[in-house]
Structure 1
Amino acid sequence: MTGFDFAAWPPTLTEAQLEELSVYATTYALSHGLLYLPPAPSLPKVPTAAIHAPLALFPSPLPRKLFEQATRLQRIYNVLYSRVALDDEFLDQVMGVETGVGKVDDFIGQLWRGWKALRDEGIDQSLHLGIFRSDYLLHSPNGETPELKQVEFNTISSSFGPLSQRVSELHRYLLSTTGYFNTSPYLSLENLPPNQTISGVAAGLAAAHSAYSASTSNARILVVAQDNERNVFDQRWLEYELLNKHSIRMIRRTLTQLQKVAKVDSTTRKLFIDVPKDLEASGSIEISVIYFRAAYTPHDFPTPAYYATRFLLERSTAIKCPSLALQLAGGKKVQEVLTQAGVLERFLADGKKYHEVFSKEEIQELRDSFMAMWGLDVGDDLLTPDGQAIQAGKENFGVRKAREEAQVLVLKPQREGGGNNVYKQDIPAFLDTLPPQERQAWIAMQLIVTPADVGNYLIRAGSTTGSSDIQAPVRTNVISELGIFGWSIFGKEGGHSHVKEDTMGWLVRTKGTDSNEGGVATGFSVLDSLLLVD
């Protein structure tokens, strides 16, 4: 049992101390680019205002040995998902339209069909870039010693790396400036780990750029952004780092814009973006790397033309982050299948297939980070080929088990971005309405039980108390989620996969215990940092 008392966090503050910390925190955030664009029906092309990102006043406690474990595991996860993305047969089986999720999930099916069509043409990716984030919660049922358990693994638009660095710097600043008024002996600089996510993510993008453009000095990295993107500063910090440290320029375009300006040379398959000649004398820009911060939700594809644009980008020789294969590898169904017997060994222990293999102990440590999960389609031999029950009213094993254990479960579809899951008491009614033929698109996962009564002070821009213009922090019980960032450049050569990877930086997102979902961009969480405890 850890010696730290989670239920005693955070320290008690007087009203004057709370106000002082709030002023220091919000002005630091506004001064150091810890920012969002304000909500609006339609954002102006030239921004004229910004608000600070939602944030926590105190760093959140995490056992030091579990932080070290999460950092250690990231290397294995980087390699694992790189190899999954290179295994066409596996992805076809799990995510395709014949036997996999794409058969019942139209969005996944569209992505898989586009990927399959390109493969049938003989177009394959020589190199892939993954910028990953593995997300974890502390699991402490009945007050037991906390364990590290994975929530999910992100292979597309793994966001908040730069802002996570800024908020960790903010907490170090508050400690240096106020000492947090000596409210806790745990609040010391040696317990606030450094966080270099900006340079780490930029290094991955720069490595991919260098791999592409050994003979091309003018190529740039393309950021594919969402329309009306408010989280632009998280992305801009990478642009500044790439320019200042690597002399690499970025450009930003949405899928809407790319429909008109993206061109792939029919001979070289190089990707060019048309720009006005008064901005670029040649009238076009060659692209080395495509960094997707969009294209992970059906809402990003309102018409078939958007899918066509996405597949046009995939056709090019630019290195995709992620490729369609790697995006599909990040599906929740893949996460569930990886928990099944022998599947990790297929990707991590096959010495005939891979130059590097992992020990039984390393694989077991990775497996120990999984929660129990299963597909709702388990036992669908009770169904006819058209998805109808052989015996009226008879449920398969996966659905029946989910119904019986609903109070300790979450149901997840193949979606990213938050707000898509079904929890606890809502599960039985959802199962009543779920058509049998759609079961394959959902997994059931045992809920992670986090330490009880952990608190923090949360600040969101615009919250005020009475006539005061000081933003009011809200003290509430919270759940904090740790994300570890990594990157990987990988491909196939001579029949073997090759992976160059690195682990860099981390993210903490904290939310009130009354919220099931956890996205910062969707308004559920605030940005936070780590306090390492023993």
Structure 2
Amino acid sequence: MASTTFDFASWPPALSDTQLETLTVYATSYALSHGLLYLPPTASGRQPTVPSSAIHAPISLFPAPFPRKLFDQGRRIQKAYNILYARIAMDEEFLDRIMGAEEGVGKVDDFIGQLWRGWKKLRDVGLVQPLQFGLFRSDYLLHAPANEPLSIKQVEFNTISVSFGCLSQKVAELHRYLLSATNYYETSPFLKRENFPANDNITGLANGLAEAQKAYGVPGSQILFVVQTGERNVFDQRPLEYELLEKHSIHIIRQTFDELAHTASLDPSTSVLRVAVPKDIHPSGQVEISTVYYRAGYMPYDYATPADYATRFLLEESCAIKCPSIALQLAGGKKVQEVLTQPGMLERFLGDEAKYGKDGVLSQEEIEDLRKSFMGMWGLDVAEDMLTPDVDAVKAGREEFGVRKAREAALSLVLKPQREGGGNNVYKEAVPSFLDSLPPQERQAWIAMELIKSPEDTGNYLVRAGTESQAPVKAEVISELGIFGWALFGGSTKEVKEEEVGWLVRTKSKDSNEGGVATGFSVLDSLLLVD
């Protein structure tokens, strides 16, 4: 048993049928009243121009128990992660080697290759905006191996279209409301106000975007939200728009790649990005863009035609600050995550005093604090020294050491490709047959990661809209903690200005290997801090 006074197997507390029904009514009514919403699915997959209905987002009835000291650790190391990924994005040589189309992942992954080649062409001409901006989320699971203390282990680090900041704040508020309204029927001594941490994602994320706007420095310029066609998760985006307008007087324009192909243009002499709008909306017929914030562009299906790639490269070419730049998107690659576990790599980015100056390095204790969050992982293409690609094995068509090791440890592994959005990983029993089908030349795009062992027998009540009864489902669950941060960096000094700004929890049935809320695998949750 892990060393904690809280018994995870006791969760959730028992409820009578009447208590469960009342709690569900309170929760769903609150969600519908407070913008904890999704647009409903449509037969065509496209949303109407003027929305006329909404459903509540998938939610839990109880907050997820999480050790207080491990939550504090996740918040503490976010500073190191913010700096780490900012510096990776500024290291072109490293990204070319790890993610590029000549010797890295982009050589075998066409999507990554197309992004890298477009970025390389722009670099060869000369990028006009040295500043970059990132909204980040580092995701963790509790790790509870036998006879060892609980720890947190990183699942992944997200650098593009980081979602659910706004709705996570609202679900934390929902659980605090349920505590105030019902005291959860006094079913657990842990359910008390001081164990429900505050969450102010909306202010924190909007403050970051406002810093990018300030750095751009042109009064009246606007922030461009690049969104997906048929986006259902608009209620996770709109609160940032409202916060930016109300607190910072910054206006937002939302457009898809399809729309931007017709509306976006660059000034040939200044590279200023402008987006055309109807003159009865804006007198000049166009608005100048300070910051491009991507809530699209992270998956191949976001680039349905070559014109979509052309639009992405047009935006990248501009002097607007990108969130993220292509470089920062590439930095979020799974292969980068794997390479960072190799000896000396964290010290390269966080401990090199000659490169970053005395005030720009982290202590070895801070670096080790971050390293403790890593699980074991390796590339399928690596040689036996676990550091270099096994090029000879690929040429000969034989298995690399990394593949053989994955076969031997299959039941304790997940294989991850360079894909975002959920539904792409390969787990345990499926690993050997997948390795049989994977062409040798594609192995470079995959990593093997040791599975995180979450506490056993923890449950919750999950409530999803769209089912006939809307009844909560009690399930054994796994909860994932995400810590949000932002970083503004670049320029001649390569200074990194950063903050940790909040958190989320996503909870899924233990029977589900994937974790995406938007893809239907998870529900939104919040934290109950326990000792």
Assess if the C-alpha contact under 8 Å between 1:221 and 1:289 holds in 2. yes
2:488 maps to 489
Tell me which residue corresponds to 2:233. 231
Classify the secondary structure of the residue corresponding to 1:62. Answer: strand
Please report how far the alpha carbon of residue 143 of structure 1 lies from its aligned counterpart in structure 2 after TM superposition: 6.0
Matched, 1:347 2:346: no
CA distance in 2, matches of 1:368, 1:117: 38
Structure 2 residue 524 is the aligned partner of structure 1 residue 522: no
Q: Deviations over 1:90-146 (max 9, x none)?
A: 001101111110111100000000110000001253110000000000000226421
Determine whether 1:455 maps to 2:459: yes
Answer yes or no: is the 8 Å Cα contact 1:382–1:389 preserved in 2. Answer: no
1:497: how far off? 1.8
Aligned to 2:288: 286
Cα distance change, pair 381–31 in 1 and its aligned pair in 2 (3 A): closer
- The structural deviation recorded for 1:383 is 5.2
Change (3 A) 1:381 1:418: closer
For residue 479 of structure 1, what is the aligned residue in structure 2? 478
- Whichever residue aligns with residue 529 of structure 2, its letter is L
Q: CA deviation at 1:389?
A: 2.5
Residue type of the partner of 2:255? R
Determine whether 1:149 maps to 2:156.
no
2:363 paired residue number: 359
1:28 is the counterpart of 2:30: yes
Residue matched to 2:10: 8
**C-alpha separation between the residues in 1 aligned to 2:272 and 2:425?**
39
Amino acid at match of 1:513: K
Q: 1:417 aligns with which of 418, 421, 435?
A: 421
> In the alignment, is residue 389 of structure 1 matched against residue 389 of structure 2?
no
Q: CA RMSD in A?
A: 1.1
Partner of 1:91: 95
* Aligned counterparts of 1:124 and 1:244: Cα–Cα separation in 2: 31
Q: 1:170 aligns with which of 174, 188, 191?
A: 174
> In structure 2, which of residues 243, 265, 268 is the aligned counterpart of residue 266 of structure 1?
268
Identity of aligned residues (%): 66
Distance 1:217 1:497 in 2: 25
CA apart distance, 1:278: 1.3
- Taking the aligned partners of 1:389 and 1:192, their CA distance within structure 2 comes to 57
- Corresponding residue for residue 197 of structure 1: 201
In structure 1, what is the equivalent of residue 184 of structure 2? 180
Aligned to 1:298: 300
Aligned to 1:310: 312
Q: 2:498 aligned with 1:531, yes or no?
A: no
Q: Secondary structure at the match of 2:20?
A: helix
* Separation of aligned partners in 2, 1:311 and 1:427: 36
Determine if contact 2:276/2:286 at 8 Å carries over to the other structure.
yes
Q: Take 1:507 and 1:205, find their aligned partners in 2: how far apart are those partners?
A: 19
* Per-residue Cα deviation, 1:377-410 (whole angstroms, up to 9, x for no partner): 012876559x4426xxx42100000011010000
Q: For residue 264 of structure 1, report the CA deviation from its aligned partner.
A: 0.7
Taking the aligned partners of 1:314 and 1:285, their CA distance within structure 2 comes to 17
Look up the equivalent residue of 2:182 and give its one-letter code.
Answer: T
Q: Distance in 2 between matches of 1:143 and 1:485?
A: 31
C-alpha distance in 2 between matches for 1:195 and 1:362: 25
- Deviations 1:48-81, CA, capped at 9 Å, x for gaps: 1000000000000000000000000000000000
Structure 2 residue ranges without an equivalent (≥5): none
One-letter identity of the residue aligned with 1:274:
A
Letter matched to residue 529 of structure 1: S
AA of the residue aligned to 2:348: R
CA positional deviation for 1:363: 0.6
Q: Which runs of 5+ in 1 are unaligned?
A: 466-470
Give, in whole Å, the separation in 1 of the partners of 2:459 and 2:521. Answer: 16
Number of equivalenced pairs: 521
SS in 2 for 1:221: strand
**Alpha-carbon separation, structure 1, partners of 2:478 and 2:241:** 32
* Residue of structure 2 equivalent to 1:76: 80
Shift of 1:311: 0.2
* Alignment match, 1:123: 127
Q: Give the 3 Å change call, closer, same or farther, for CA 346–449 of structure 1 in structure 2.
A: same
CA distance in 2, matches of 1:261, 1:497: 33
On the 8 A contact 2:382/2:390 being kept in 1, the answer is no
The answer on whether the counterparts of 1:132 and 1:156 sit within 8 Å (CA) in structure 2 is yes
* 1:372 corresponding residue in structure 2: 376
Structure 2 length normalisation: TM-score? 0.97
**CA distance in 1: counterparts of 2:461 and 2:117, whole angstroms:** 47
For 1:128, the aligned partner's letter is Q
TM-score, scaled relative to structure 1: 0.96
CA contact (8 A) 1:118 1:124 kept: no
Q: Give the distance between the partners of 2:233 and 2:215, measured in 1 at CA.
A: 28
Map residues 324-339 of structure 1 onto 2, 5 A cutoff: 324-339=326-341
Q: In structure 2, the residue corresponding to 1:352 is in which secondary structure?
A: helix
> In the aligned structure 2, how far is the partner of 1:533 from the partner of 1:206?
35
Within 2, Cα distance between the matches of 1:404 and 1:226? 41
Query: Which of 53, 63, 66 in structure 2 is aligned with 1:62?
Result: 66
2:405 matches 1:401:
yes
What letter corresponds to residue 520 of structure 1 in structure 2?
A: V
Residue 249 of structure 1, aligned match among 227, 248, 251: 251
One-letter amino acid of the counterpart of residue 462, structure 1: G
